[in-house]
Chains A and B, each alone.
Chain A
Amino acid sequence: AQKITQTQPGMFVQEKEAVTLDCTYDTSDPSYGLFWYKQPSSGEMIFLIYQGSYDQQNATEGRYSLNFQKARKSANLVISASQLGDSAMYFCAMRVFRDDKIIFGKGTRLHILP
């Protein structure tokens, strides 16, 4: 069975520091994709970044990068130079390509301190 684990329920980080949000996953399928979403207090889920299981390089999107370690089955999100607007819930998710489901982790609440 597929599973996503986010072990950090909450984090406090000083503004302008880099942040690493942990995500580990479990699947026996070789073909899958990993996603990170941000959910501000408004409730909307915002797509941040995607990493495919066959991608050779770590994904990057602006200040977001995904530290993909396939052997360890981890897909940590790194936010560089954090900003106050980064305060939100962050969800790691996985989709096995042969399936039509995305499985989400429980999320990490990130607080950026001024």
Chain B
Amino acid sequence: ETGVTQTPRHLVMGMTNKKSLKCEQHLGHNAMYWYKQSAKKPLELMFVYNFKEQTENNSVPSRFSPECPNSSHLFLHLHTLQPEDSALYLCASSQEITGGNEQFFGPGTRLTVL
């Protein structure tokens, strides 16, 4: 595996379900990110992790809970979501969190909340 991988690629869940999104990067990067991409809205940064430590929580509701056990893995735990949470969730990584380090993105998880 190379680059940034995300599983599952598609997820349908009810509002009472609990599920987790997984992201793994094979690039040796130190920073990882979760983004939400809704239709007709700019890409929204949700969380930033640098060397496993959370450095940014962009006013995300508590029904989204991130976890970063090591620099290569990032999870997004979901519980009691709302239909408006349906979106494409993108994971990204970069060598460092500052400067001109480009972010490499995974293919995303298309989430539908019923």
Contact = CB atoms under 8 A, between A and B. Distances in A.
Interface residues of B, number: 26
A43 B97 contact: no
Contacts of B105: 37, 44-47
Contacts, number: 60
Given A44-B108, A45-B92, A104 B102 contact: no
Nearest to A32: B100
Contacts of B41: 106
A44 B103 CA distance: 12
Interface string A1-16: 0001000000000000
A39 to B, nearest CB: 8
A35 B50 contact: no
A100 B108 CA distance: 21
Measured as residues with beta carbon below 8 angstroms from the partner, the interface class of chain A is 20 to 34
A107 B103 CA distance: 17
Contact of A50 (B55, B100, B106, B107): B100
Interface string A86-98: 0000010101011
B55 A44 contact: no
What 4 A-B pairs are tightest by C-beta distance, nearest first? A45-B105, A104-B43, A100-B97, A33-B100
